[in-house]
Amino acid sequence: MKKISEAVVRRLPVYLQVLSDLSKRDVQTVSSQELGNKLDLNPAQIRKDLAYFGEFGRKGIGYDVSYLIEKIRQILKLDQGLNVGLVGAGNLGRALCNYNTYLKDNMKITAVFDANPAMIGAAINSLVVMPMDQLKDIVAARNIRIGIITVPAVEAQNVADGFVEAGVEGILNFAPTILRVPEHVRIHYADFTTELLSLAYYLEKEGDETDEPLVD
């Protein structure tokens, strides 16, 4: 299969969500125009994205919804079952555990850890917070492949090192700091402040922006 660009990979879960909604409503085919309306994307862009899967749609009929769902689930490895571990049982960590409801498709947070002794043993839905010294054993025992970091920035690198040592293959970091991991570990950043600050750039009304030339 052709290598899929990062931008397309990021759109796949969104396609999957829209297609799943359609499937729940017993919709069997969908046009690129309809998908475009739902996703605020150009239909030509959608046709190009979907062409990666060898699925081109048929004129006047559209795309087969359940075929696309199956294909995207395969590409995202959702057909495999994927266990996720989380370190940091504060508000954010707890909120993420609640997303388990949305994480159908065999991808689940199956273990939660915290360094704070007062947190150990606390229940978050069906999970029980475990101490950090069990991270390595539990990651191995439960075949955890992705680690989520929801600890303060100053502790994040230590937690990342722990996850790497325990053998996870991917890390999703919510701490507002850059982390160093070996090349074979994929790291994604989900820092909310980054989203918020880049959103600010697009606000329409300008305040006191100057017209000074961009030189020293």
Whose Cβ is closer to a copy of itself: residue 72's or residue 130's? 72
Q: Is 5 in the site for a copy of itself (CB under 8 A)?
A: no
* Contact positions with a copy of itself (CB under 8 A) in 184-203: 184, 186, 188-203
Strand partners, 108: 83
- CB 208 within 8 Å of CB 192: no
Contacting residue, 23, 34, 43, 103, with a copy of itself by CB under 8 A: 103
Q: Is 26 in the site for a copy of itself (CB under 8 A)?
A: no
Q: Is 1 in the site for a copy of itself (CB under 8 A)?
A: yes
Contacting residue, 118, 123, 154, 215, with a copy of itself by CB under 8 A: 215
Q: Is 147 annotated as a binding residue?
A: no
Segment interacting with a copy of itself, rule: CB under 8 A, options 22-30, 37-45, 114-122, 132-140: 37-45
Q: Is 80 in the site for a copy of itself (CB under 8 A)?
A: yes
Segment interacting with a copy of itself, rule: CB under 8 A, options 23-31, 130-138, 155-163, 176-184: 176-184
Segment interacting with a copy of itself, rule: CB under 8 A, options 1-9, 26-34, 126-134, 155-163: 1-9
Angstrom distance (rounded) from CA 101 to CA 104: 7
Long-range contacts of 39-44 (CB under 8 A, 24+ apart): 39/11, 39/14, 39/15, 41/11
Q: Is 88 annotated as a binding residue?
A: yes
Residue whose structure tokens are 């959702």: 78
Contacts with a copy of itself, 123-162, as mask; x by CB under 8 A:
----------------------xx-x-x--x---------
Annotated binding residues for NAD(+): 88-93
